[in-house]
């Protein structure tokens, strides 16, 4: 690989890993199985495809319109990095079960999801997958990297993250049988710890740029 390709790959992984953690496919798997309880395998696969596909489109939309959104509100990148880091840190505390849930979805939205026939769009696609944290992350990354094909790299990472979500949901029953709820919670807590470190780095980068 030439240095430019390595730089693009590095940024791809830098975006992909935190985005998967923020979208939290393992943590959202019990919700998916609950919302699709009683459905056939084909129906569950369709729900997983729609949820991950719509989440992908939402995040790609914000990756394309990020400049316009920040310019319209006159928001500088450092301020957005600090705010984004704070949101990520709150997500991390939630994944670590140090604070109650409710950042990505409210209890009312989750109860509505159980009762609704079509749950792929709400609450699965948004706010569970493409929620405030994922959207904030995409907007920050859209502003952060000045490299060739930046939009292509960001879009590819979003697509890969959503594909990982789909695969997790598609194999959901098998994963639950292998890991159990306890195993899923352990993985979720590990992801929360990694996200906490990423969140702190986001805030440090933002404060450094305020000088």
Q: What is the pLDDT of residue 14?
A: 87
Query: Is 126 a residue whose pLDDT tops 80?
Result: yes
Question: Taking phi first (over 0 means left), then psi (-120 to 50 degrees means alpha), and beta for anything else, what does residue 2 get?
Answer: beta
Domains of the chain: total: 1
Task: Give the total residue count for the chain.
Answer: 211
Q: pLDDT digits over 98-116, tens only?
A: 887 655 555 555 555 555 5
Question: Tell me, what DSSP letter sits at residue 122?
Answer: I
Number of other residues whose CB lies within 10 A of the CB of residue 67: 11
| Full residue range of the structural domain in which residue 148 is found | 3-209
Query: Is 10 a residue whose pLDDT tops 90?
Result: no
Which CATH number covers residue 174?
Answer: 1.20.1250
Q: What is the pLDDT of residue 7?
A: 78
Question: Tell me, what DSSP letter sits at residue 103?
Answer: S
CA distance 135 to 156: 15
Q: pLDDT digits over 36-57, tens only?
A: 988 999 999 999 999 999 999 9
CA distance 108 to 132: 17
Segments in the chain forming alpha helices (H):
3-23, 25-35, 41-72, 77-95, 107-115, 132-144, 150-170, 172-209
């Amino acid at each position: 690989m030439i240095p430019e390709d390595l730089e693009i790959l590095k940024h791809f992984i830098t975006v992909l890993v935190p985005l998967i953690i923020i979208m939290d496919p393992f943590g959202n798997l019990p919700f998916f199985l609950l919302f699709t309880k009683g459905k056939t395998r084909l129906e569950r696969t369709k729900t997983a495809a729609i949820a991950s596909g719509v989440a992908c489109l939402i995040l790609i939309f914000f990756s394309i319109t990020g400049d316009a959104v920040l310019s319209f509100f006159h928001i500088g990148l450092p301020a957005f990095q600090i705010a984004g880091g704070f949101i990520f840190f709150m997500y991390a505390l939630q994944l670590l079960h140090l604070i109650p849930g409710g950042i990505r979805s409210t209890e009312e939205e989750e109860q509505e999801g159980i009762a609704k026939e079509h749950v792929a769009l709400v609450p699965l696609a948004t706010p569970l997958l493409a929620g405030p944290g994922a959207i904030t992350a995409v907007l920050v990354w859209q502003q952060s990297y000045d490299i060739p094909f930046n939009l292509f790299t960001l879009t590819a990472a979003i697509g890969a993250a959503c594909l990982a979500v789909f695969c997790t949901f598609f194999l959901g029953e098998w994963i639950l049988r292998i890991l159990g709820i306890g195993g899923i919670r352990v993985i979720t807590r590990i992801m929360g710890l990694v996200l906490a470190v990423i969140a702190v780095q986001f805030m440090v980068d933002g404060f450094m740029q305020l000088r």
